[in-house]
Structure 1
Amino acid sequence: MRAFRKTALKKTGLTLAIAAALTAGCMQGCNKVEDPAKLMADAKRYEEKGDHKAAIIQLKNALQQNPEDPEARYLLGTIYNKTGDFQSAEKELRKALSLGMDAGTVLPELGQTLLKLGAYQQVLDETKELADKTKSAQILTLRGNAQLGLGKASEAKALFEQALGQNPDFADALIGLAKYSLLQRDVETATNLSEQAVSRSPQNIDAWLFKGDLLSIQGKLEEALAAYDHVAKLKPNMAAAYINKAFIEIGTGKFDAAKADLDAARKLGSSLSVLYTQALLDYTQQKPAAALESLQQILSKAPEHMPSVLLAGAVQIALGSMPQAEQHLKHYLKKDPNNVYARKLLASVLLKNRETQRAIEVLSPSLKKVKEDPQLFAIAGEAYMQAQDFAKATEYFEKASDIAPKNAVLHTALSMSRMGQGESARAISELETATKLDPKSPRAGILLVMTHLRPQGIRQGARCGKGTGEGEPG
């Protein structure tokens, strides 16, 4: 028995020793430190294949080993730029700069980040010294785009022309001049410059993206989609091509196609652009709660992402949350006071809250400048109706109806303002037009019956009044 126990104990001890050795070996393997140079090489290889997610993971692993590696910081910043995470891009690029990386390498990339963040003055301030030293077409164009962002069109034009003086085929400068031409409402020149950019630099992704955008603005949607498809062929990992296609598809009601393109963009890495476009798709499909969820993710990271601020205002209106809608829209208009759509939305919120005078004040700047916007004039008509200024209301409803003569709602609104002025016959005429345009409209039909009855009732009342005065029974 003792011999058996000794043998068993020896076997048990041997087993434990083997297990301990295996555990130690496993722990050494698990804790194995990978060479930062290999991690960097892996990241570059992944990035060349368009696998941004894997590249970011390897770069973060490399930075855990060596947080002060400027090249890893720079490469990580450039990838964040591609995925639309501009806050993270700015952080990494500034770190690379502070670690001593060449400003001539970092600042052009950092400048693009700041442009995306709307920090136009920062671009000018931080590239001034480099611009004075190098006079490079790239930096001059970067500064030109910053001036455009600040609304200084003539200064921007001069910088783009200087850039082309340095490099006549520089596509980004040609695109810059095309943007300037669009601001001058010279679509023909913008188109010519766009064609020059793609013909002189046929592999330039930004040139093809701009061409697609320009075609989209002109309503040439199939040609625009073809340009974005060309971008996807040139660079399959370019999320912007799929996102821009999705925008067109949302606008034309092709929601399944938009979803497919958004899914393709999302596989390349989630970004603010993907989230924003998803929110727009959900809002357009009357899913405001889902849209708000995406917008909250954006605004938690980038509270100054102004397209999301504006869309959040519209979404909150759809959800019936008027105080939140007003807050977003007021914030947006501080940044972009000339945006007519934002003013229309804010005025609608104020009218729902019966803040009539404030609504009129919000609309006033746009009413002085805009000549062809039936929706703007209709909202103004509604505001003046609420203020019981029926003459003004009629004026704006007439303007709206002249632009959109087949809109039954406008004719109904115009009839009500005419009724407020006591013009019953003209009110009936407008209502009859509304019911012809939209026979299924219950509101126009009911108002028409009531309007026909109203003059008769008034005449009967007048006769009764007269009879009573003469001592006759009423």
Structure 2
Amino acid sequence: MKKSTVTRIAAISALLLLASGCGQKTTDEHISEAKQHLEQGDNKAAIIALKNAIQLDPQAAQPRFELGKIYLQEQDYESAEKELSRALDYGYKPADVLPLLSKAFQQTRADVAMTELPLESSGLSKVDKVTVGYRKALSLLTIGENKQAVLLSENLTALNVNSVYHDLIQLIPLLAAEKYEEAVSKAEQARDRSPLNSDALLILGRLYTSTGQGAKAVESFKGYLRVEPTDIRVKFILASLLIQQRDAKQAEPLVDELLAVNSKSPYLNQLKSIARAVDNDYESALKYAEIAINTGRLDPTLRVVAGFAAYKTENYDKAVEHLSTVANLLPDDHSVLRLLAASQVNSSTSAQVKSVIERLDNFKSTDVPLLSKAALEMLKADDEAAANEMIEQMESLSQSAEQIVQLNLLRLSVDDIDGLIGVDELVEDQEVPVQAKQMIAMALIKNGKYDEAKA
């Protein structure tokens, strides 16, 4: 190759390198571009510009700080935590980073990391120091460092700043001492001072829950979610509280949203089963209840829901299966025992109903059908003594014509001639089913009472 050709190629290459260098933006230019996008409300473009800046200089603190701020604004707290932590590590001003990073740590429940945030020599203003300090003190309580939390709160209270966090920091000693009733009134003052402050709404909701004020807790958590709509943990708490308050209609959309994130959650499936049962969708209620059971949920309440739903769908064997698991946990005469007995007399385990009936008291006329079926099962099992006991229970309860027919037929079934008492009035009662009248007539013939049978 000629020398002139080589020289020409080298010159062209140099020009190309120079041109490419001129076309590449600097880190500062990417940051400036990001700020312009933010002014125009285009967060996505701003994020791209900042990521380009970080790609050029991975240890540049400013683009990571700016990116962390955007993520915090968009409530992407995990990404915010990552970028703000790196900004702090790479030397960005702690006074600017710590208030934002403490918020991210709070939302990601990074309690240990929160307790390691430096408050002294950080350049924080008094207001910011109390804000970050309150969150740090809560995390100290969470990990069991109560003494440190109280000491920190006392030091920050002494700053006497004009901020809602000055009210909140005074809650720490009360929380450490479990003086929740007293803490409620102080938290309410903080909420009233700053109705949209998420920290005040959150701690107040928790305090209402701890003091058994479910309805107030619901309202406080609703207010919190209006400010922090992505907080899954609070949605979980609110859904549970709404179910406890018997407001399944409001709870179910929250439960559905959470199930979309974790469809195998035992507790969420339990809440869903309750919501479906309240809405009379018993097939779905049973489905979700059994998902919860099969994924390890052991709550006896869940077995009751499953048993009730199975009973309502006439799946009596399954109802018995679920209700039997909690029978020994219940006091005698509990309504769930009646449900178990009603399921048993319609199931393949009907012979077992005797032991459940024996635990029931205070029978009412509405129990006559149950006693009637149970007595028949005892007769099938040749246990006439048990059948007679149930018939005696029915005797004082039967009111309607049909119930009296059931009682007398059972008496006839055990060859009790007293079962024929009152037959005349029964046969004349138009409400008595034809089949029952025929059975009574046959019983009369069997006992030699031909004239009465003809009538």
Pick the TM interval, shorter chain. Answer: 0.5 to 0.7
Corresponding residue SS for 1:303: coil
Q: 2:243 touches 2:271 (CA, 8 Å); kept in 1?
A: no
The offset of 1:201, in angstroms, is: 0.3
- Does structure 1 retain, via aligned residues, the 8 Å contact 2:77–2:104? no
Aligned residue for 2:374?
Answer: 460
Alpha-carbon distance, 1:302 to partner: 1.8
The within-5 A match list for 1:235-250 is 238-250=129-141
> 1-side partners of 2:281 and 2:176: how far apart?
34
Within-5 A mapping of 1:101-112: none
2:64 to 171, 174, 186: 174
Greater radius of gyration (CA): 2
1:154 to 44, 49, 67: 44
Aligned to 1:395: 287
Find the partner of 1:300 among 171, 177, 192. Answer: 192
Structure 2 match to 1:380: 272
Alignment of 1:266-415 (within 5 A): 266-270=157-161, 271-276=163-168, 279=171, 287-316=179-208, 324-325=216-217, 327-341=219-233, 343=235, 347=239, 351=243, 354-360=246-252, 363-368=255-260, 370-371=262-263, 373-405=265-297, 410-411=302-303, 413-415=305-307
Opposite residue 63 of structure 2, the aligned amino acid is A
Deviation digits for residues 303-354 of structure 1, max 9, x if unmatched?
2223433544454455565665555455445555555555555555655665
Amino acid at match of 2:153: L
> What is the alpha-carbon distance in structure 1 between the residues aligned to residue 229 and residue 331 of structure 2?
35
Q: Tell me the alpha carbon deviations over residues 410-454 of structure 1, each in whole angstroms, 9 at most, x when there is no partner.
A: 45554554455455554555567679xxx9x76899788667655
CA distance in 2, matches of 1:261, 1:444: 53
Q: Deviations over 1:220-271 (max 9, x none)?
A: 654553x32x444645963355333322233334444433332233223353
Q: Could you say if the C-alpha distance between residues 200 and 371 of structure 1 is closer, same or farther in structure 2, counting changes exceeding 3 Å?
A: same
Structure with the greater relative contact order (CA < 8 A, sep ≥ 6): 1 or 2?
A: 1
- 1:259 aligns with 150
| Displacement after TM superposition at 1:282 (Å) | 5.4
CA distance in 2: counterparts of 1:387 and 1:240, whole angstroms: 45
Would the aligned equivalents of 1:175 and 1:193 in 2 still touch at CA under 8 Å? yes
CA drift at 1:296: 2.5
3-state SS of the aligned residue for 1:244? helix
| Equivalence for 1:201 | 91
- What CA distance in whole angstroms lies between the structure 1 residues aligned with 2:260 and 2:85? 37
| Partner SS for 1:289 | helix
Superposed CA RMSD: 5.3
Change (3 A) 1:308 1:221: closer
1:288 touches 1:319 (CA, 8 Å); kept in 2? yes
Structure 1: give runs of 5+ residues left out of the alignment: 1-133
Q: Is the 8 A contact 2:304 2:336 kept in 1?
A: no
Cα offsets for 1:353-409 (capped at 9, x unmatched):
655444445645444555354444333322233334332223333344455545555
Partner AA of 2:67 in structure 1: L
Corresponding residue for 1:33? none
How many correspondences in the alignment?
A: 330
Amino acid at match of 2:133: Y
Listed as ranges, the gaps of 5+ residues in structure 2 are: 1-27, 345-352, 358-369, 380-405, 420-455
Structure 1 contact 242–264 (Cα < 8 Å) conserved: no
Q: 1:146 Cα shift? A: 11
Instruction: Give the TM-score normalised by structure 1.
Output: 0.50
Distance 1:197 1:378, change over 3 A: same
Query: In structure 1, what residue type is equivalent to 2:270?
Result: A
Distance 1:302 1:142 in 2: 32
CA deviation map 1:141-195 (0-9, x unaligned)? 6985996xxxx752451464487699976535314435777989896x8777456
Contact kept, 8 Å, 1:209 with 1:231, in 2: the verdict is: no
Shift of 1:272: 2.2
Determine helix, strand or coil for the equivalent of 1:248.
helix
Alignment-derived partner of residue 58 in structure 1:
none
For the structure 1 residues 300 and 206, does the alpha-carbon distance in structure 2 shift closer, same or farther, using more than 3 Å as the test?
A: same
The letter for the 1-side match of 2:185 is E
CA contact 2:267–2:297 (8 Å) conserved in 1 = no
Q: 1:359 to 1:174 in 2, by over 3 A?
A: closer
Cα distance between partner residues in 2 of 1:372 and 1:172: 41
C-alpha separation in 1, matches of 2:64 and 2:206: 35
Residue 413 (structure 2) aligns with? 472
8 Å contact from structure 2 (residues 269, 288) kept in 1: yes
Mapped to 2, the partners of 1:186 and 1:343 lie a distance apart of 16
Aligned-pair identity in percent equals 15
Are residues 331 and 424 of structure 1, via their aligned partners in 2, closer, same or farther at CA, if it must alter by over 3 Å? same
Aligned residue number for residue 77 of structure 1? none
Q: Would the alpha carbon gap of residues 374 and 257 (structure 1) be closer, same or farther in structure 2, given more than 3 Å must change?
A: farther
Aligned-partner Cα distance in 2 for 1:407–1:444: 20
Give yes or no for contact 1:356–1:383 (8 Å, CA) kept in 2. yes
Aligned in 2, Cα 1:304/1:142: closer, same or farther, shift over 3 Å? Answer: farther
Contact 2:47 2:67 in 1 (8 A): yes
CA distance in 1 between partners of 2:296 and 2:36 (Å): 42
Secondary structure of the 2:136 match is helix
Mapped contact 1:411–1:430 kept (Cα < 8 A): yes
How far apart in 1 are the matches of 2:140 and 2:191? 25
Kindly provide the amino acid, as one letter, of the partner of residue 272 in structure 1: V
